[in-house]
Amino acid sequence: MSTQPVRVRFAPSPTGPLHMGGVRTALYNYLFAKKNNGTFLIRIEDTDQTRFVPGAQEYIMDALKWCGIMPTEGPGLGGNYGPYVQSERKNLYRPYAEQLVAEDKAYYAFDTAEDLDRMRDQAKQMGMPNWQYNSVTRMSMKNSLTLPQDQVSEMLANGAPYVIRMKMPRNHDVRFEDLIRGWVVVNTNNLDDKVLFKSDGMPTYHLANIVDDHLMEISHVIRGEEWLPSAPLHVLLYQAFGWDIPQFAHLPLLLRPDGNGKLSKRDGDRLGFPVFPTNWTTSEGELYSGYREKGYFPGAFINMLAFLGWNPGTTQEIFSLEELSEVFTLDRVSKAGAKFDPDKTRWFQQQYLRSKSDEELAQLLKLEVEQPMSDEQLKDICHMMKERATFIGDMVTEGAYLFARPTSYDESTVQKKWKEDSTVLMNEWMNIMEGIKPFNSENIDVAFKAFLESKGIGVGAVLPLFRLLLTGTGTGPSMFEISQYLGKEESLQRMQLGIEAVNQLKINA
Ligand code: GLU
């Protein structure tokens, strides 16, 4: 058993906002580190300067913070292995690439973009559409393996543009054991001579990634399945340097709700759900919506994400981040792609909303409400509405009558329930209400039942009328709680106004 401390990293490229698949990768890294008393760090992989998007790094940090899964080492966070942004480590990579050249494991290639295009075209004409720079073709290209040594030295001295390519061994099986996928074996004849170091003086992702994972003493590489094809090259690079190889775990893809393909950044707003943790506006002003701004609680979002590709092996579905950190193991991560389910996501949000105390919800509701309201009122609203809301904002829209008098009356209730004698019936009930003391839900409930009994009529004939007058709606929380909340005076006034308005509607109908 190795005693190497667990150190894992999330290594996003700042090429845009963080997709929820990226958040899941960060989450699994976070959970794995917590579970194993390890360290979770973030490294920004920005070696591809052409794909750099301003604001993306800040977005990523802000999103992780909102999710509550902050790394403990990273840009702006400190740590002994920095800098944690690859462009700030720029000068560190070249010697590693040159070391491989010196050891005949890599070579300088001077081919221009036109040279490469020409080779591809020629190959295509000969019926080989997938030309690669590899162990066979490299010998007919312009590189330090084919050109005379003095010419190479001269070109380098004269500053001729070059890249450094991996000298992929011929017909060699690369094997490694992935913690999720088991043994992976790839023959090097299927791999090309990847560029390790570019003409702009920057390493490619592959070189920078493994140099940094080595220097940052990463024990486990937990990342998305899309990087699985790169893993054999990475293994070969570790071997070429003679370094210990971290354990790999390639996470399953996140699929569209119908299981048809990868969940892409365009799917979200098209199919009516966010795919980003927080809002992102592109430089062209296009908005991609985020879970935060849609009103999701970070706990609900994280809980949902944890289940996209992992399960605890029990029927429990609601887990706090702390609980997840206790039970998470990579051996319960599935190989198969995980279908994103927007309904289930809303379900998680509902569960989280319901599990919060009225006091806690009241403080959140306060932020959504413009008019002045007491904490007590807000708490009552939350108490009444929380079973009927998915988001805090629903309490304001669904329970609009708790904030203001109704301005309209549900048409179908008016048509179906408001009869000739309804005015008289409601006036009688108002008289009874007048005498209820104290005017609280229990007393209103008792009085209401007694009223029904005295009239010999069922609840279904009276309660909808009562609700209609007080709230304008056909459904909602307990009428006794609503009346207590509104108070006797306001309740009676609403009933009076309601009776007039509904009768008017009847006349006009
Ligand atoms: N920079 C890569 C990305 O953007 C990281 C892949 C890895 O974790 O090795 O996903």
26-83 pLDDT per residue, tens: 999 999 999 999 999 999 999 988 888 999 999 999 999 999 999 999 999 999 999 9
First to last CA, the chain: 82
Distance from the Cα of residue 344 to its chain's centroid: 14
Q: Look at residues 485, 338, 344, 330 and name the one whose alpha carbon lies nearest to residue 401.
A: 485
Helix/strand/coil for 165: strand
**Whole-number Å distance between alpha carbons of 182 and 175:** 10
Q: What would you measure as the largest C-alpha separation in the chain, in angstroms?
A: 112
Residue 164 phi/psi, 5° resolution?
-110, 125
Say what percent of the chain tops pLDDT 90.
94
pLDDT at 200 over 90: no
Which of 223, 230, 234 for a ligand 1 pocket mutation test, highest count of atoms within 8 Å of Cβ? 223
Q: Which of 259, 215, 258, 257 has its CA nearest to residue 238?
A: 215
CA distances from 113 to 108, 134, 141, 446 (A): 15, 16, 12, 86
pLDDT tens, position by position, 141-159: 999 999 999 999 999 999 9
Minimum CA distance residue for ligand 1 atom 5:
11
Q: Which residue in 57, 54, 51 sits closest to 77, CA to CA?
A: 57
Is residue 298 reached through a cis peptide bond, with omega within 30 degrees of 0 on the bond before it? no
Is the CB of residue 12 below 6 angstroms from any atom belonging to ligand 1? yes
The whole-number average pLDDT for the span 485-496 is 98
Give the per-residue pLDDT at 80.
97
Let me know how long the chain is: 509
Judge whether residue 2 has pLDDT over 80: no
Residue-range domains of the chain with CATH = 89-203 (3.90.800.10), 357-394 (no CATH), 405-508 (1.10.10.350)
* Ligand 1 pocket check for 132: Cβ under 6 Å: no
315: which residues sit within 8 A by CB, 6+ positions away? none
CA–CA gap between residue 305 and residue 21 (Å, rounded): 8
Lowest pLDDT segment from 99-103, 254-258, 348-352 = 254-258
Residue type, 367: L
Q: Given a cut of 90, is residue 266 above it in pLDDT?
A: no
Ligand 1 geometric centre to CA of 289 (Å): 23
Catalytic sites, residue numbers: 265
State the distance from the centre of ligand 1 to the C-alpha of 186, rounded, in angstroms: 20
